[in-house]
Amino acid sequence: MHYSSFTFSLLASTSILLETAQSAYVLADDYSGEAFFQSFEFFTDKDPTNGHVKYETLEQANATSLAGFMDGGNATKAVYMGVDTTSEAPDGRGSVRVSSAKSYQHALVVADIVHMPSVCGTWPAFWMVGDDWPNDGEIDIIEGVNDQPSNQMTLHTNSGPRITKATKKDLFTGELVTADCDVNAPNQSKNAGCAIADTTNLTFGNTFNTNGGGVYATEWTDSAIKIWFFPRGKFPTDIASASPSPSENWGPPTSVFSGDFNMDDHFKNLKIVFDTTFCGDWAGNTWNTSQCASLAPTCEEYVSNNPAAFAEAYWAVNTLQVFQDDGVGAGAGTVGNETATATATTPPSPGTSVNVPHGKFIQNAALARPSFGGEGEGKGTTKGKWVQSPGGREPRQRGGGAVLPSRA
């Protein structure tokens, strides 16, 4: 790993104990490396946000090398999720959307992300969502479109939650854009949610990638949802020493979502999602107001006809770990009301390894990756359960007036 001189200690730990004033955190699930594709489901329905995209199955993603692992730069056998960069795509460009098989009730989610999509026409997101949208809630940790320079973090809920910044403990460094989380809030664009925009340019897109990415840490408790971002090379010492603790040493969060409402009434059993779509109801509708408009008359035309332009439209995730309060207990997680378990299946046939930008594509998702610190390409078969996710749910709308269906 490339956490300067201390990265490996954070990534390899399987028994990290976190202490806060009220409780300790224990590692519930480590989705780093091969565990990611064993534990995440591939969504293949039509994009609910009307994107110019074709989400690929696990088998298709293997065959086209859109899902696998990569080395190079700050990525060390990082989970790779890319898009089609070779074919014209009049019916939608190939991409990947995955969600965790398990859902969580409260968590500290820590992700070391080396690279994210940063291309005109793309709409990447790293988020959490419940099955019953918006009643179970949605947490957008990373989200943006086109040439957006910084990250926007947003909650989407039913009626009730409204964000306040009234007390010292609720201070955050981001800018409050909209305060009412209700997707039908009066005096806000429909489904704007409660949004906080980062005020730096290190948290999203090209600058994020050029700087080597960083760590996003999201703490969700019964009283608040807090999101921190740490650029590479500037991680707190307790994260570096494999004992991260959301505390004063982390500094103020980029965002704090809290207020005079019961958090657990509005956020329940959330799954973790990564996806990259194109155009659609946000990136497409804002194309003409971005600098991307000089590239083509429409977003769809640009995405269809310029496959090589999407070489940078990929996620590279060094590690993804979920910690939970020791009162909840580590390990199980839930899917609906049932405990999630892995089921052995025959893996799909391996695809052809290819080179990816700034690193070597070392193998696809059908092959098990070696343990952290291992050398070579690794051998073996997966033991994961590959299940496709359900389709979209209720309509939703992005701030600024662009109507879009739920991604959930």
| Nearest-5° Cα angle at 362, 125 to 44 | 40
Contact predicate 11/1, CB 8 Å: yes
Q: How far apart are CA 300 and CA 282, in angstroms?
A: 12
User: In sequence order, which residues have a C-beta less than 8 Å from that of residue 162 and are 6 or more positions away?
Assistant: 179, 180, 181, 182, 194, 259, 260, 261
Amino acid (1-letter code) at residue 6 = F
Contact predicate 73/305, CB 8 Å: no
Closest listed residue to residue 153, CA positions, set 127, 117, 171: 127
Residue entry with tokens 């059908």: 366
Q: What is the 8-class DSSP label of residue 33? A: T
Contact predicate 228/239, CB 8 Å: no
Q: HSE-up of 39 (CA within 13 Å, CB side)?
A: 25
Contact predicate 97/407, CB 8 Å: no
- Is residue 143 annotated as part of the catalytic site, yes or no? yes
- Is residue 138 annotated as part of the catalytic site, yes or no? yes
> In 192-265, where does DSSP find H-type helix?
205-210, 237-240
Catalytic residue (one of 34, 56, 138, 300): 138
Catalytic residue (one of 34, 41, 56, 143): 143
Closest listed residue to residue 277, CA positions, set 55, 112, 111, 105: 55
392's tokens: 């979209």
Give kind and range of the element (H or E) at residue 39: helix 34-39
β-sheet bridge partners, residue 356: 359
Contact predicate 55/96, CB 8 Å: yes
Give kind and range of the element (H or E) at residue 376: none
β-sheet bridge partners, residue 18: 25
Q: Which residues are part of the catalytic machinery?
A: 138, 143
